[in-house]
Amino acid sequence: MLSKSESKFIKSLQLKKYRKESGRFIVEGRKNIIETLQSNLEIDNIYVTQPFLNENHNILGASKYRIEIVSEKELSNLGSFQSNSAGLAIVQIPESPVIDYTNQNFFITLDDIRDPGNLGTIIRIADWFNLPQVICSESCADSYNPKVINASMGSFCRISCHYTNLKTMLENATIPVIGTSLKGINLHDFSFPRAGYILMGNESTGIKPELLKTCSQTVQIPRLGKAESLNVAVATAILCDNLFRKS
């Protein structure tokens, strides 16, 4: 059984303040734990149910990390899942290196994406299209928020999110900035350059006016029906598909 202090520490990692102070975040569920074990991330502790340990003994048994058996009820009390029959891991937040422009031409760039589920899904999309670095404004959701981790479905292990002052960065950009706007040209008529920032705006308000000014070009996804808007993660996936279809 977990001690009160250990339980309190794990629960505290739901909050950004304590993740930042400790340099730790939580990973929940079967897929995310297996993905983490197969990554280069450093794990402090893993808490698992006996059935999950039995089913994954080949992976967990060979692990160098501390593994503790807990009940489903304990797991549900510790993490963000309403029910968790697998496990939970405490993982070290890696140091974020500077953005590497040598091995990546296009960068998904996010302005004020507040919804953790959207950010997690965009991280998953970046992984799908092999864009291992995502650039975020300082007001974006924390990439180590449990809801972001869960929505990424393991892609957080391969994608790094860089937080920066987008206005300063984009004003000094040496590659084109392609923004999304309802006033932009039809995406299907747009020829992507050889490299660039793909700038996606806030779920409700879109790209900030001061950032729109940095755009080399704005594009819109043609609307054929009557929906008022698209989810930002869906729009990101459509842009990435068009980018690689035409590149």
In a domain, 97, yes or no: no
Number of structural domains found in the chain: 2
Output the pLDDT for position 228.
84
Same domain, yes or no, for 85 and 117? no
Output the pLDDT for position 247.
52
Q: Map tokens 């706007």 to a residue.
A: 181
In a domain, 81, yes or no: yes
Beta bridge partners of 220: 186
Same domain, yes or no, for 195 and 172? yes
Confidence bin at 150 (pLDDT 50/70/90): very high
Output the pLDDT for position 127.
98
Please give the model's pTM, rounded to 2 decimal places: 0.94
Output the pLDDT for position 174.
95
- Domain hosting residue 183, numbered range: 106-246
Same domain, yes or no, for 119 and 177? yes
pLDDT, average across residues 204-221: 96
Output the pLDDT for position 225.
93
pLDDT, average across residues 97-126: 96
Looking at the predicted structure, is the pLDDT value of residue 112 above 80? yes
Alpha-carbon gap, residue 171 to 174, rounded angstroms: 9
> Quick one: which of 189, 177, 142, 165 has its CA closest to 24?
142
6 contacts 51 by C-beta, under 8 angstroms: no
> Quick one: which of 23, 208, 183, 226 has its CA closest to 113?
208
Give me the chain's average pLDDT, please.
94
Condensed to tens digits (0 to 9), the pLDDT of residues 15-32 reads 999 999 999 999 999 999
Which amino acid is located at 191 in the chain?
S
Output the pLDDT for position 246.
61
Strands 43-48 vs 87-92: parallel, antiparallel or unpaired: antiparallel
Looking at the predicted structure, is the pLDDT value of residue 94 above 70? yes
Tokens linked to 235: 């729009």
Same domain, yes or no, for 236 and 127? yes
Q: Which of 92, 119, 140 is the last residue of a domain?
A: 92
